[in-house]
Amino acid sequence: MTGTAVARRPDRAPAKTRAPLRRTRLADPAVGVWLAAAAVTALGWIVVAARGGDFLTLTNVVGILQNSVALGLVAVGQTAVILTGSLDLSVAYLISLGTLVAATTMEDGSVVTGVLAVLALSAAVGLANGLIVTGLKVNAFIATLGTAFILRGWIEENYTGPAGKVPASFQHLGYDRIGPVPVSLFLLLAVAAALWVVTRRTRFGHHLYATGGDEHAARLSGVRTRRTVIAAHVLCSLCVGAAALFLASRLGAGAPWAGTEARYDLESIAAVVLGGTVLAGGRGGVAGTLGGVLVLAVLDSVFNQLGVDPFFKNVVRGVVIIAAVALYARRGARRST
């Protein structure tokens, strides 16, 4: 035996190391927006209780979760596009057209046919957006706005009101619950989890961040940036198609106003930005976006229970979004110095 002592690795990191790690986690926008969602929920409960109401009832919680599904699906898809430095303003009209296609197809055919028709339409629109942005070098704002006008023209030419009928079997998606949890929430969580895995655990996901961070550098590194942007637009539109199917199951028919009345184009971008994803691309993620969706859904529920004037409601939402983006920008500036 030798007298040499074997150094033993410490079981826990030193306090000086753990403290910066905790600060780093708290500085993560995804963590911040979920803490903000909890704070908004607590504040809403206090304000509604002070007015004699009851905020955290089962009915109200279920309503918040159901109202989060459509916006959540669109915002998750929007996240993929924004990560590349692009965006999609055609989502609202694509939702409206998707509900109409789903309802009219299911009325004459089967549920499976209707689902496939909506997803095929969505993929085609996403592919068109991606090709216009990358092939014709049109700014994404203008390109997708042009697509939105095309879809709007088609809807106004061919539909004058609600159309088609969704079978009762498909409406289970919009109304059924497993205990207190809406079935539709599992659809949102499944889509969000799949996209989280894609963005965080695959080569394509790394390409999304690289393209949004610095497209020129990514191209020099061998990333096929055009294909990445096109694929991101297709992914976004497929998520929008899922939202259209959900809304069709809720409405029981197709509605030309299904996407535009709720302003899913601007609302989805607001949720993405509120969740910490940078509009310039390269930073952010799905987890923060879901937190942003929850913040907006809770705010809407509080305002509805309090009977707040729509103008004041929009003012508060705008202030919250601006404050969040300013805070993220300030933290980013501190990290870069």
Q: Summarize pLDDT for 246-285 with one digit per residue, the tens.
A: 999 999 999 999 999 999 999 999 999 999 999 999 999 9
Per mean pLDDT, which range of 18-22, 75-79, 163-167, 198-202 is the poorest? Answer: 18-22
Whether the CB-CB separation of 247 and 258 falls below 8 Å is answered with yes
Categorize the per-residue pLDDT at 211 as very low, low, confident or very high, splitting at 50, 70 and 90. very high
Tell me: pLDDT of 4 over 50: no
d(CA 74, CA 333): 30
Q: What is the pTM of this model?
A: 0.90
Tell me: pLDDT of 191 over 50: yes
| Structure tokens given for 39 | 């704070």
Q: Which residue has the higher pLDDT, 21 or 69?
A: 69
Q: Which CATH architecture has domain 55-336?
A: Orthogonal Bundle (1.10)
Tell me: pLDDT of 19 over 80: no
Name every residue whose Cβ is closer than 8 Å to that of residue 120 and which is 6 or more positions away in sequence: none
Whether the CB-CB separation of 91 and 74 falls below 8 Å is answered with yes
| Structure tokens given for 223 | 């990333």
Over residues 23-63, the pLDDT tens digits come to 555 567 889 899 999 999 999 999 999 998 889 899 999 99
Q: Which pLDDT score is estimated for 9?
A: 47
| Structure tokens given for 275 | 């969740």
Whether the CB-CB separation of 200 and 39 falls below 8 Å is answered with no
Percent of the chain whose pLDDT exceeds 90: 78
Q: In terms of residues, how long is the chain?
A: 337
- What's the start-to-end Cα distance of the chain, in Å? 54
d(CA 302, CA 289): 20
Q: Which pLDDT score is estimated for 47?
A: 93
Torsion of CA 319, 324, 326, 332, to 10 degrees: 180
Over residues 54-110, the pLDDT tens digits come to 898 999 999 999 999 999 999 999 999 999 999 999 999 999 999 999 999 999 889
Question: Please, what is the average pLDDT of the chain?
Answer: 90
Name every residue whose Cβ is closer than 8 Å to that of residue 212 and which is 6 or more positions away in sequence: 82, 83, 84, 85, 278, 280, 281, 282, 283
In terms of C-beta density within 10 A (0-12 exposed, 13-18 middle, 19 or more buried), how is residue 12 classed?
Answer: exposed
Over residues 171-189, the pLDDT tens digits come to 999 999 998 899 999 999 9
d(CA 187, CA 167): 19
Q: Which pLDDT score is estimated for 18?
A: 53
> Which residue in the block uniquely carries the two structure tokens 């035996």?
1
Q: Which pLDDT score is estimated for 281?
A: 93
Q: Which pLDDT score is estimated for 3?
A: 47
Of the candidates 123, 83, 31, 74, the residue with the CA atom closest to the CA atom of residue 206? 83
Whether the CB-CB separation of 237 and 94 falls below 8 Å is answered with yes
